[in-house]
Amino acid sequence: MKLIQTILGLLCAFALMVTLLITSVEAVTYWTPGYYEKEYRKYNVLENVHMEMDDLLDVTSEMMAYLRGRREDLHVPTTVNGQPREFFNEREIAHMEDVRGLFLGAIAVRQGCLIIIMASLAILLYTRANLKRLLPRTLCAGTLLFFALLAVLAAIIASDFSRYFIVFHHIFFNNDLWMLDPRTDLLINIVPEPFFMDTAARIAITYGASVLVVFLASCGCMLRTAKKSILSFFLCLSLCFGLFAQPAYAAPAWPNGPSIMAEGGILIDGNSGAVLYGKNIHEQYFPASITKILTALIIIENCSLDEVVTFSHNAVYNVETNSSNANLEEGDRLTVLDCLYAMMLKSANEAANALAEHAASSTEAFSAMMNAKALSLGCTDSHFSNPSGLNNPDHYTSAHDMALIAQAAFQNEVFSQIVSTLYYDLPPTKRNREGLRIYPGHQMIKKNSPNYYAGAVGGKTGYTTLAGNTLVTCARRNGMQLITVVLNGHQTHYSDTRAMLNFGFRNFRCLEISDYDSTYASIENDLTVAGLPTTDLSILRVQENRQITLPNNAEFSDTASSISYELPAGAPKHAAAWIRYDYGGHLVGSTYLLVGHTEPESSPPLREVPLIEPQSLLSEESPGSEIPAESAAEKSSALAFHIPPQVMAAFWILLAAAASAVIGYALLCWFLNQRKRESANRMLRRQRRQQRLQDIGISNDEFQHLLEQKRKRPSLLDGARRRPGKRYKHY
């Protein structure tokens, strides 16, 4: 019978744990006021879905009502990007039907657990179980067993997160519609991965707190019988500390990057230069038309924008048949600015040749300028043979080199304005009597494109049969400027770029070095720095407007800095030393230590460019894009998964809490067993004494009476104390 009662008690504990878990999910997702509004603002959801906050909160409220079974359908009218529409499309509605079934199933499980608890308690009462003794013990033991199972499950899932993520969906979902596409399905944009992780963390904290209350209350009931108030207090305190204490972590690990389909790819912070993610970043590939980024940068730095370029026969006809062009003819005359727009937006190869001949008299001479510029930017894997990027065995680059070139280009305001323009009107030419309006080939800056990405500044596309799809993209959000490069893609260049940008914006942040750095204090005892006297250290300062890029949970103090007095090429005029910052083996930024009271040197003034008002192009498409359209099957391809650092941190915290609880429970059981053993020994001694008294014929009451008389009888020693000096003879 005791075994059955123990099993029923453990069953109650397990049912209570499940009930608390489901209630914690409901409390966070349904009952937390202002939570969704705060998260939407935190992760720029409004910008991603192009909605007002009131409309988005209304959609969220209707979605929550649907999940709880208080609304029959998800046909919710709203306003997106100023246009009335239904928020949920058919794919999302089918997806949410399965999610609703999961939510309602969880509520049914909770009701079943409550029934199990009441039935078990009824049986225990019927069998006259000692609930005061049984329930606290089974609740403590059941809680530990439940958390041990959770820890084992978390370890299994963490071993292959992507696999078990898919298995979970195949168990609870009737189809593959859970693989939503961020380009067509708005639902995935209102619940991004960091939002999901925040919600999971809140659920874990709520659930952990409720379980801790139950566990400590059970421990208190067990300790109450011990009648050791001080020891009980300290034991409960140690249990609290063990459950709440987290392992002493080193600096957070570098986040795991996404999985991309292209052969080569890289993600860097354009401000700090930190490489946040890379795949085959030093492998050499054909670049195709992204070569024109370097061409444009050299032209902007060496030519005036109003200079006139005359198109030669070689410029127009020394190109591959059917390659990208702006329908220009020999003898056409355009300004450098017009040619730059034609080259960067329309990817006009004849414009690239004409600009090269204008700047260096021939494309061969201009190629030498390209290689010299690339070398000055730190490129080590590249060689350029023409200004346009057309196929040539001696024309190649790497993702890392292309990122360095793009970083330098996007630091130029003229270049940034050109590639971010949504259309440009070329003047009349021989073949274009009325002029020609051109559009960018980069789809991520056009709001009417399924590849649109909020925050995308611009970039350059490329495609040849040998190079495959190539793409360079720059995007800015929350003070960060990220640059991606995709090489040898297979019509997944946009999805690869999106995955890298999302990874960067969600997992990293930028810090101003001048707000944190004090490295120059280490040279206080040096007599000179780079040959300059440092007797007055007040003239030393860290260069301003320099940043480092760190994972979200990392701090500036987690970086390791090193100072060098050997200055790299291009160092500022008043630089005395170069400071490098590393984080976990990753270069995350650098700056210069400047000497003197002079103000930081400003960048040379940029030439003014006629401003062009960006247009939304809601009804206009870019004709003649040089990149093949993605197939529908590729657009709905499965998302790439990785184990977020928050998941691993939560797993280790859970494991440490379970271990602390097991140790605390073992100590508690040892203490109670000691008390039980002492009580049993006292009882045994009493029984032996009673047996001895029975053997000599004296009852226990008579023995107690004799003891009382002996206590009251004065001893000889007491008499001696009352009459000092008198001696007694003992017989």
At 198 the three-state DSSP class reads helix
Q: Which of 210, 232, 289, 382 is catalytic?
A: 289
Q: Which residues, at least 6 apart from 276, have a Cβ–Cβ distance to it below 8 Å?
A: 257, 267, 268, 269, 482, 503, 504, 507, 508, 549
Element (H, E) at 45: helix 45-49
At 157 the three-state DSSP class reads helix
CB atoms within 10 A of CB 375: 12
Which structure tokens are listed for 594? 């400047």
Which structure tokens are listed for 717? 């020693």
- Largest Cα–Cα distance of the chain, in whole Å? 147
Which structure tokens are listed for 702? 């008579």
Q: Is 730 left (phi over 0), alpha (psi -120 to 50) or beta?
A: beta
CA–CA distance, 509 with 195 (Å, rounded to integer): 16
Q: Which residues, at least 6 apart from 385, have a Cβ–Cβ distance to it below 8 Å?
A: 367, 392, 394, 395
CA–CA distance, 303 with 297 (Å, rounded to integer): 10
CB 183 within 8 A of CB 629: no
- Return the closest-CA partner of residue 379 out of 413, 343, 359, 407: 407
Looking up tokens 């500390």 gives 241
CA–CA distance, 513 with 510 (Å, rounded to integer): 9
Alpha helices in 87-192 (DSSP H): 90-126, 131-159, 161-172, 187-190
* Cα angle 365-369-372, degrees, rounded to a multiple of 5: 135
Among positive and negative, which fits the CA dihedral 330, 333, 337, 341? Answer: negative
| C-alpha atoms less than 13 angstroms from C-alpha of 110 in its C-beta half-sphere | 14
CB 661 within 8 A of CB 242: yes
Query: Cα(first)–Cα(last) distance of the chain, in Å?
Result: 66
| C-alpha atoms less than 13 angstroms from C-alpha of 590 in its C-beta half-sphere | 17
At 220 the three-state DSSP class reads helix
At 434 the three-state DSSP class reads coil
Q: Which residues, at least 6 apart from 602, have a Cβ–Cβ distance to it below 8 Å?
A: none
Which structure tokens are listed for 94? 């089918």
Known catalytic membership, residue 382:
no
- Return the closest-CA partner of residue 660 out of 268, 255, 239, 267: 239
Q: Which residues, at least 6 apart from 14, have a Cβ–Cβ distance to it below 8 Å?
A: 142, 145, 146
Q: What are the CA-CA distances from residue 175 to residues 91, 96, 98, 129, 166 (Å)?
A: 11, 11, 9, 49, 11
CA–CA distance, 179 with 165 (Å, rounded to integer): 11
Known catalytic membership, residue 289:
yes
Packing angle between helix 292-302 and helix 399-410, nearest 10 degrees?
40
**Kind of pairing between the strands at 333-335 and 308-310:** antiparallel
CA–CA distance, 183 with 430 (Å, rounded to integer): 40
Q: Which of 292, 373, 446, 460 is catalytic?
A: 292
Known catalytic membership, residue 292:
yes
Which structure tokens are listed for 331? 């003898």
Q: Which residues, at least 6 apart from 111, have a Cβ–Cβ distance to it below 8 Å?
A: none
Which structure tokens are listed for 459? 């970039």
CA–CA distance, 366 with 296 (Å, rounded to integer): 12
CA–CA distance, 314 with 325 (Å, rounded to integer): 14
Active site residues: 289, 292, 347
